Amino acid sequence: MEFFPIFLNLKNRSCLVVGGGAIAERKTALLLRSGADVTLISPDLCHNLTTWRDMGRYTHLAREFRDEDLSGQHLAIAATNDSAVNRHIAEIAGNLRIPVNVVDQPELCSFIVPSIIDRSPVVAAISTGGASPVLARLIRSRLESLIPAGYGRLAQLCNRFRQRVKERFAEPAERRLFWDRILQGGVAERIFSGHEDEADQLMEKALSIPISAEETGEVYLVGAGPGDPDLLTFRALRLMQQADVVIYDRLVAKPILDMTRHDAEHIYVGKERDKHTMRQEEINQLLAKLAKQGKRVLRLKGGDPFIFGRGGEEIDTLAAEGVPFQVIPGITAASGCASYAGIPLTHRDYAQSVTFVTGHLKDGSMNINWEMLAQPSQTIVFYMGLVGLPIICRELQNHGVGGEMPIALVQQGTTHMQRVFTGTLDTIMDIVERERPKPPTLIIVGRVVELQEKLAWYEAPPHSEQGATSPVDY
C-alpha cells in the first residue's frame, strides 16, 4: 500500500485550509461535515465559501498564508493555485508533524483525501493512492448502488442493540450467526423501507428466540423495468441478489434474470395468451407458502408491478396470510418504451394528459370506455393490445377520433430487439400486415407520435431475432 488507510476524529479540532477556490471549497465541505473547526486563509473566496463564511460556519482570514498559521493545527490542506506556496506549506507542516494534503501533488502529501461514500456512521473510502482520482470516483459510483442510504440507520440500530446481543449470546459464533441473519433479513429490509419501529419490534422478537429457530421470510415484489437492465433501480438489484427463491414470468429478459443469485431456486410461472403455466391464484398462494418457510422470495415482474402487473392481487393474498412484503416499483413499459422510441407522453403543444389502458381484461374482453379515450389533447397507451389493434382503431374512430390520428407500435422497447412502427389509425393495419410486429408491443395513440422521427435517439444494434426475449407482457 502506498498509503495507510485511516479514519481521523476531527470533531472540534482545529484544521487549516489555504485557498479560496473550488478545490478549497470541496475540502472545506468535507472537513465541516466531519465536525472540524476550520480556519480558511485566502484573500478571495468563491461563491459557496463566501456564503458559508457569512453563515459563520468557519473562520476566514482574508490574507496570504504565514508560517505561524500552522501552529496548533491538527491537519492542513494546501489548495492554492501557487505551487510554490503549496510546497512551502507542506514543508512547514512536515517539520511540525502535522498531516498535510497538497491538492494534485501526491508527492508532497502525508495523507490523501479519498473518494467517499457517506452513510454515517457507515463510511466507505476509495483511493488510488493519488494515481487517478477520476478512477476512484468511478469505483465509488459503482459501489453507491450496493450501499443503500439506509445502511447508516441500520448501523445505528446495531449500536443500540449491541450490548443486549452480547449479553443474550455469550458465544462469539452465535453472535456472528445472529447478526448475519439480522443484517440480511427482515430487520434490515424494514430499516431500508423506513419502518424503523417494526425493525425494533423484530429485533426484540429475535432476541427472545433461540438462534436456530426458523423465522418467517419475506416477499419482494420487484418491478424489473421494461427490458434494459440498466433501468433497474438500486433497490431492485440489491433484493434480486439476496433472494433465496426467484419467481418470474415468461417475459422477464434473460439478462435481468441472470442478475439474480445463481444459487437461488428459480420457479417459472409464465403466462401466455390463453396458456398459463400456473393460475394467478396458485402463484399468490405459492408466494405465501415459501415465505412462511422462512425464505426470502423475489417476485420478479417486468415493468412496474402495480401497472397491469397483477401485483395488487398478489400482495392482497400476502396481507391476508400475514406475510411480510415490500413493493419495489419499476419503470413501467409506457414510460420506458415511449422514452426509447422518442415519443414524449405529454407535451404542452400536443397532450396535457396520458391514459394507460389494458388491451384485455381478466375475462378476456375489451370492455373499454371509448368515449373517454376519444377526448382531444391526450395520449393513450395500450398495454397488451396488439391482438385487439383492429378493434382499437375502429372504436376510436367510431367515437369521433379522426383517421389521421398518429399511432405508434413499439416492439420490445428498450431492448436490442426494439422496433418502432408509426402511422395513423387509417394506415396502421396495412403497416402491421406488411411488417408483422411481434409481441410484446406497446401501442401509443396521440399527436405526440408526430415528434417521434425528430426526437428518436435510441437505435437498436444489429441483431438476430432468434431466442430474443423482452420482459413486459404488453
* Mean pLDDT of each 10-residue bin along the chain, 474 residues long: 88 97 95 96 97 97 97 96 95 96 91 88 86 86 79 92 92 82 84 90 88 74 92 90 90 88 90 69 95 92 90 94 93 95 95 88 70 95 91 95 97 92 96 92 96 91 47 42
In this structure, which amino acid lies at residue 394? R
Looking up cell 433465496 gives 244
The whole-number pLDDT of residue 274 equals 55
Query: Which conformational region is residue 399 in: left (phi greater than 0), alpha (psi within -120 to 50 degrees), or beta?
Result: alpha
Q: Which of 38, 123, 103 is nearest to 74 (CA)?
A: 38
The whole-number pLDDT of residue 360 equals 64
**Is 302 assigned to a binding site?**
yes
Catalytic site residue from 249, 295, 301, 473: 249
Class of the CATH domain delimited by 216-331: alpha beta
What is the tens place of the pLDDT at every residue in 327-340? Answer: 999 999 999 999 99
Q: In whole angstroms, give the CA distance from residue 270 to residue 229.
A: 20
The whole-number pLDDT of residue 276 equals 57
**Is 307 assigned to a binding site?**
yes
**Is 413 assigned to a binding site?**
yes
Residues 6+ apart with CB under 8 A from 173: none
The CATH number of the structural domain formed by 334-455 is 3.30.950.10
The whole-number pLDDT of residue 250 equals 80
Residue 458 has, within 13 A of its CA and on its CB side, a CA count of 20
Active-site residue flag, 258: no
Q: In whole angstroms, give the CA distance from residue 321 to residue 370.
A: 38
pTM over 0.75, yes/no: no
The CATH number of the structural domain formed by 148-214 is 1.10.8
Strand order in the sheet with 75-78: 59-61, 37-41, 14-18, 75-78, 100-102
Give the pairing of strands 406-411 and 441-445: antiparallel
Active-site residue flag, 271: yes
The whole-number pLDDT of residue 134 equals 87
**Is 304 assigned to a binding site?**
yes
Q: Do domains 216-331 and 334-455 have the same CATH topology?
A: no
Catalytic site residue from 37, 271, 292, 426: 271
The whole-number pLDDT of residue 452 equals 95
**Is 226 assigned to a binding site?**
yes
The whole-number pLDDT of residue 3 equals 83
Give domain 14-113's CATH number out of 3.40.50.720, 3.30.465.10, 2.40.30.10, 3.40.50.970: 3.40.50.720
Task: Parse the chain into domains and list their residue ranges.
Answer: 14-113, 148-214, 216-331, 334-455
The whole-number pLDDT of residue 182 equals 87
**Is 22 assigned to a binding site?**
yes
